[in-house]
Structure 1
Amino acid sequence: MAIAFSVYELFIFLSFTIFISLPCLSINTAITNLKNPKFAVDLIHRDSPLSPFYNPDTTFWDKAEKLYESSIARYAYIASKKSERYRTDLTLEGNLYYAKLAIGEPTVDVFTVLDSGSDIFWIQCEPCIHCDPQTVKIYDRTKSKAYRNLTCGSADCKLAPDTRCDRQNNVCTYDITYGDRSYSYGSLATETLTFMDSKGGVMATVKDVVFGCGFNNHVSINGKFGGILGLAATHLSLVSQLQINSKSEKFSYCLGNVSDPSSKGNLIIGEGAHISGFSTSFKFENDFYKVMVAEIKVGSQSLNISSWAFGGSRFVILDSGTVYTFLPPKVHEKILNAISQTMKRFKVQPIPPRRNGELCYKGSIGKDLNGFPTMTIGFLGHAKLVLERWSIFIQQENATFCLAFLPADGRNMPSIIGTMAQQFYNFGFNLDVFHLSIIHSVCIY
């Protein structure tokens, strides 16, 4: 399908939100130790032995049903907020990757969730209400020589959202409530962050990073995580603070093989971000990234999807908390029909759908779909996502697999690109020239 005849506009909202411009900041962060610092964070698979969620008796496939249910729940929430500027919910069951950070002096590892809707970076601190110290290591501020509370009169306290003043103790506090009624309350403070490479070497040490030390936190998974790495385009987001020390405004993230618990991803902020591969221009508006998509193909067959199928200008959300991909009913129907026709060449038996829009088969992705054609989402220019069988389908159990695409609730409802479709790719944003680069990657930094 020629671009000139069938270009339609999709909007991508990153769960890993970044920003185009920054306000004047008063944060006095300082880099020590290295001349060429790199702000890279490992993204650890939820089912990895390195994860606080690790359970040797379960596998990714054991949790497939819960992944479906969590995707439906998250989609319903985002759809309910389609016409509003909103802070995302904190339903964490669908998150497959967690950012591993080293905080304090001496350092303590914490596992945080990447969340575009959070204004600040906060972690669970001692003493902590609703925390279970047997399931997660809770940060103890008294053991760090670098911890400092922000006072009520500090510039950061006055400029930051969701803050209050504890006048009795002259401490700046924060109070965040999320869309699903999760919340975090605590003190704003400064601390040292250390960025480590995969071999344990220090890439950068940043002092006086402002963060929230949460004493009263309530989230949907009973405290089995360290906190939230807020990436919204605000004064105190971690990305904003680290960009102060960067020569240019760049950001990248990469997700590994979501079906392999041993795989890792990465989040890189600043000059060290991976900006490579083919690019497409984007426009940032109202917390959304707008890009132009040329076509969608299954194998060499173009689906000839016109703009009316998306109801005009449509939001497509690239979300780390949703496993499945949701597309408008007409678009999903064309994909489903193309996949069904292609599947006739393979020795698998279709299963009657249990839910609306499902397409399932008896068999194994690994054994029965060798040679399955790719699905391509081509963007304006030459950037594209080429999805292989492990990104198109999800294994439900040993002998059943399903299409990892579901229909949105209607033509005018938001669409979401989930983590199954994002795996194996690096997304690099060059904010100086408004270019998004996409490249197939093994997520090495």
Structure 2
Amino acid sequence: MATLFSSAHSFHARHHKFPFLFLLFLFVLIESCSGFGTFGFDIHHRLSDPVKGMFGADGLLPVKDSVPYFQVMAQRDRVIHGRRLATSSGGDNTTNKTPLTFYYGNETIRIDSLGFLHYANVSVGTPSVSFLVALDTGSNLLWLPCDCSSCVHNLGSPSGTVKLNIYSPNTSSTSKKVPCNSTLCSQTQRNRCPSDQSNCPYQVVYLSNGTSSTGYFVQDLLHLISDNGQSKAVDAKITFGCGQVQTGSFLTGGAPNGLFGLGMSNISVPSTLAHNGYTSGSFSMCFSPDGIGRISFGDKGSTGQGETPFIQGQTRSSLYNISITQTSIGGQAKDLVYSAIFDSGTSFTYLNDPAYTLIAESVSSFSSES
């Protein structure tokens, strides 16, 4: 059984508008995702069996669903909770677009030793170089470690050292640095430029543990394939961050090889793919209990699915913000109105009062009666 949240969001990109649709699928079995025809890739949680095997971490990480397992997830959420960005072609393209996914497939994996995030293997540049990036619906920018003075080059594991790839514009024949006089460089960023021909700078600051990524914008090819069973190669030009300096949790385990922002800002990859006509303005993510998942760009969902609209006009308009109007506990509906965001970088659901107290008391009462 799947729960789907979707919305047609009018999204302004330069002089054009296109509908932006975000689909979040929560599947009990990953096999349920196999029917989508989109560009996708697999997602893995850092504590999932495939990733533990990849890094030789079996026996060192908490057993799934054990008390230590949830304690680690809760601790990680407390550290990163509340992080937000501090700074940072035309027409309706929603019809007849083939869904896309990453070149190495649409599988994702949850890697708990790397921040309890879901990761995917993306391929960038010419020749192509792969990166294990964390997927984050709570931010917008894709950045990769790039000619960096402060970043993670290797990951240690019981089975040995895992070398991580580092991106360099100088080694990719299709890479192009974004100058300050480019329309891709915002006025705020231009104010930090010493000259028009300087590289357009960026800085992403997260509100926890002094975590940030700093560098400049580049353009290069993101290698995708069609997710309709035909595996047709598609090379999409995207703009992303060449991350020269990473700080905080990016140096201690969380997203050491890059962060893939999936928000609704113009700079995000889903928005870029839709704006340039590669896909319809939507994407879907599937998660399963074993940590394996999928992501597909251009997936418009299926008929008869449940949905809820996004709240528009919020200060943080690039976030997937929804309004909760009713909660059912033990079959009893509670009329309770509050807003919440979807954040793939957070392990648990967090509530503020009065919602938290009302739900907690209802659950306690229901448990006592049972």
**TM-score computed with the length of structure 1 as normaliser:** 0.57
Identity among equivalent positions (%) equals 22
Q: Determine the structure 1 residue equivalent to 2:335.
A: 306
The separation in 2 between residues aligned to 1:155 and 1:212, in whole angstroms, is 16
Matches within 5 A, 1:352-431: none
The separation in 1 between residues aligned to 2:238 and 2:44, in whole angstroms, is 23
Contact 2:213 2:246 in 1 (8 A): yes
- The answer as to 2:365 corresponding to 1:337 is yes
- The answer as to 2:326 corresponding to 1:322 is no
Matches within 5 A, 1:45-444: 45-48=45-48, 49-50=50-51, 55-61=57-63, 63-75=69-81, 77=82, 86-87=84-85, 94-134=115-155, 135=162, 136-158=164-186, 164-165=192-193, 167=195, 170-180=198-208, 181-196=210-225, 202-222=231-251, 224=253, 225-244=256-275, 245-246=277-278, 248-257=280-289, 260-261=290-291, 263=292, 265-270=293-298, 272-285=299-312, 286=314, 287=317, 288-291=320-323, 293-298=325-330, 302-307=331-336, 313-327=337-351, 328-342=356-370
The separation in 1 between residues aligned to 2:203 and 2:216, in whole angstroms, is 9
**TM-score computed with the length of structure 2 as normaliser:** 0.67
The separation in 1 between residues aligned to 2:7 and 2:196, in whole angstroms, is 36
Unmatched runs of 5 consecutive residues or more in structure 1: 1-13, 27-36, 79-85, 308-312, 343-445
Letter in 1 for 2:288: G
The separation in 2 between residues aligned to 1:229 and 1:201, in whole angstroms, is 25
SS in 1 for 2:152: coil
The separation in 1 between residues aligned to 2:187 and 2:119, in whole angstroms, is 28
The separation in 2 between residues aligned to 1:96 and 1:206, in whole angstroms, is 26
CA shift at 1:173, angstroms?
1.9
Point out the structure with max Rg over C-alpha: 1
Higher RCO, 1 vs 2 (CA within 8 Å, ≥6 residues apart): 2
Mean Cα deviation higher: 160-169 or 282-291 = 160-169
The separation in 1 between residues aligned to 2:118 and 2:171, in whole angstroms, is 28
Contact 1:19 1:233 in 2 (8 A): no
Rate the CA distance shift 1:294–1:163 in 2: closer, same or farther, 3 A.
Answer: same
Contact 1:196 1:204 in 2 (8 A): yes
Mean Cα deviation higher: 184-193 or 108-117 = 108-117
CA shift at 1:316, angstroms?
2.8
The separation in 2 between residues aligned to 1:168 and 1:39, in whole angstroms, is 37
CA shift at 1:53, angstroms?
6.0
Q: Determine the structure 1 residue equivalent to 2:42.
A: 42
SS in 1 for 2:11: coil
- After superposition, the C-alpha distances for 1:237-289 in whole angstroms (9 at most, x for unaligned) are 111101121564222211122xx25x2x122222x343454223414321353
- After superposition, the C-alpha distances for 1:356-393 in whole angstroms (9 at most, x for unaligned) are xxxxxxxxxxxxxxxxxxxxxxxxxxxxxxxxxxxxxx
Unmatched runs of 5 consecutive residues or more in structure 2: 17-36, 87-112, 156-161
